Amino acid sequence: MRSERSGTADVERATLRLRLAAAALATTLVLLGGGSPVWIPAGLVAYLVVAVVARYAMPFVPEPVARGVAIGAIGVDIAATGVLVAALPLDRPAWALFVIPIGLGALRYGAFGAAAVAALAIVVIDVVLAMRLEEAEAVALWPLQLVVAAALVAAELAKIRGRDVLEHDVLKRRAAALSDLSDAMTSSQVLRIATEHLYRVPGVSAAWAWAPREDTTAIEHARGGVPHHLAATSLGPKDLPARGRDTTLPGLDDAADVARVIGVHDDPRMALGAVVGDGALDTERRDALIADIADATARSLAAAIERERAERAVGELRISLESVRGQLRAKEEAVATAVHELRAPLTSVGGYAQIVARHLDTMQRQVAQLTRLIADLQPSAVTSPGIAAEPTDIRDLVRGAVARARVLSDAHVELQEPATPVVLTVDGPRVGQVVDNLLGNAVKYSPSPAQIAVDLRDEGDSILLKVTDQGRGISAEDLPRVFDRGYRAAGDIRGQGLGLAVVREVVEAHGGQVGASSPGEGAGSTFWMVLPRVAQTVLEAGNGEPPRSAGEGQADLVPPEPAS
């Protein structure tokens, strides 16, 4: 369509140029002759106006009207030239202006147009000569020869131009079809574009495509109307020709037309159909153009179908991938759920295992301690328990006792200890029992939760351990007897009165001392013990105060309280 519009515009521009040339030549003849009628210049101006208006108004006029206007304009050219020839003297070469209408006829309608306009020009010349026969001479017949010669030349030129135009038109149609088909992405687009270009071929009155549909084929993208007997007929894939083959189908209403079927693809079988008759193109050019369109369609169709198959394969692969991904996701979710469900009991088991592992040594030591306690209850072991001294970091014993007190009660125990190891040669299990008894006694006589402070100090040749609570305290009457075996203060909570007695016996067996102090009932109490670096002979029990250094009062062995 774009090429046709471009060709029409070229013809309109050439027509305007020829008419402008005719007006210029007529003006020259009028000016050279002199004495011309006044209306001739006005007529030339009107002719120019009409020529320009016709040039620029033609694109906006409907095609049927435009054809009539073009023929009428050529008639006006012939009439204007005849009037000018009749108005000027016969010896003027105004006859040469008939060459312009003849050229316009050849330009628009080829050799036939040139011959028709030349015949009309000869008639006009004969009429003018008959009207002015008295003025005519023998030489006045030369315009007829000029017109005939101009007609022959224009006819040949029109024939040559017609061939060029046809070749150019075929090339443009072929190029347009190849360009559009190469841009098509799907088989449906290829068939639609092919039928459109096939329908534009001069001489083709209908075009369509056969495409596969289940077990048969169907007509698609029809242009110009499919013959009724073909539209009602169901053709199978085997009924269509193979790619590159061309067959004809009978049964058309017009015997001059031929229904051609051209195969364009084999798997699946597809074909183009067209009703072909007479047209502007000769048979050879028309068939060559149809064959070129069919060949380009076959190539584009093969590429499009291959692309569609690849896209389908990719789609199926994507679906499979999504399915596998979904299965993997489901498995991962199932595993995550199972892991979540198993984590809680495993965490519990692990926690209990850690507790058991953490306190396994403590449990073993407590069992050994119970064994020794049972042995201490025997009459032979009541008064002087034996010791098995070995180097021991007293900090480990105190830490273990504090940990046990925290686990076995809700007491809050605060521990202060030296930053470096404090090694004593003592019976570790028995000293641990002493610390356990002191902490147990503090918890027992303190309101829940008990607030207990444990202070371990390194005194050089000995160590000092204090256990201070905020409990019920000890009266002045009970304070001297708290370490006696079997003694219980009035209103005591529970117990047999053996815990603090065992503390004193073990500490004294190591050559140490124990003591207790209390501001009074309800004000808490402090229990302390002093152990030498190396276990010594049994020392005399103290009187409730920390032991004294040689040459000084006993109270001096009690470390001073930290400055507040």
Query: Are 240 and 295 within one domain?
Result: yes
Give the CATH number for residue 397: 3.30.565.10
Is it true that the peptide bond before 268 is cis, omega within 30 degrees of 0?
yes
Same domain, 222 and 290: yes
Would residue 339 count as lying in a domain?
Answer: no
Residues 550 and 434 in one domain: yes
Cβ atoms of 62 and 48 within 8 Å: the answer is no
Q: What is the CATH number of the domain that holds 205?
A: 3.30.450.40
Pair (160, 213) in one structural domain: no
In this structure, are 467 and 553 located in the same domain? yes
Nearest to 461 by CA among 527, 528, 557: 557
The reply to whether 196 falls in a domain is: yes
What span, in angstroms and rounded, lies between the C-alpha atoms of 80 and 559?
145
Question: Which run of H or of E encompasses 261?
Answer: strand 258-265
d(CA 453, CA 468): 5
Q: Interior CA angle at 266 toward 262 and 272, to 5°? A: 25
CA-CA distance, 519 to 279, in Å (whole number)?
A: 134
Bridge partners, 209 (sequence order): 220, 272
Tokens of 26: 């007529």
3-state secondary structure of 467: strand
Same domain, 127 and 205: no
* Cβ–Cβ under 8 Å, residues 279 and 286: yes
- 408 touches 517 (CB < 8 A): no
CA 174 to chain centre: 41
Cα separation, 456 vs 450, in Å, equals 19
What domain range includes position 198?
A: 185-308
Q: Residue 136 class from Cβ within 10 Å (0-12 exposed, 13-18 middle, 19+ buried)?
A: middle
Q: How many domains does the chain fold into?
A: 3
- pLDDT tens per residue across all 564 residues of the chain: 444 555 577 777 888 888 888 778 777 777 776 656 767 777 777 877 877 877 777 777 787 787 788 888 888 888 887 787 777 776 667 777 777 787 777 777 776 777 777 778 777 777 777 776 666 564 455 555 666 666 666 666 666 655 655 666 777 878 888 888 888 888 888 888 888 888 888 878 888 887 887 777 777 888 877 776 666 566 676 777 888 787 777 655 554 567 778 888 878 888 888 888 766 666 777 788 888 888 888 888 888 888 888 888 888 888 988 888 888 888 888 887 777 777 767 777 777 777 777 767 767 667 766 766 665 555 434 445 567 888 989 999 999 889 888 888 888 989 999 989 989 999 888 898 899 989 888 888 888 888 899 999 998 889 999 999 988 888 888 888 888 877 776 555 555 667 888 889 899 988 999 999 988 888 889 999 999 988 664 433 334 444 443 333 333 334 444 433
| Peptide bond just before 449 cis, omega within 30 deg | yes
Do residues 464 and 513 both lie within one domain? yes
CA distance linking residue 88 with residue 77, whole number of Å: 17
- Whether residue 332 lies inside any domain: the answer is no
- β-sheet bridge partners, residue 441: none
Q: In this structure, are residues 420 and 460 in contact, taking their beta carbons and an 8 Å threshold?
A: no
Residues 261 and 172 grouped into a single domain = no
Would residue 520 count as lying in a domain? Answer: yes
Give whole-number Cα distances, 311 to 61, 307, 407, 563, in Å.
Answer: 48, 6, 70, 87
Which of 488, 490, 480 has its CA nearest to residue 441?
Answer: 488
Domain stop point among 308, 323, 345: 308
Q: Are residues 216 and 103 in the same domain?
A: no
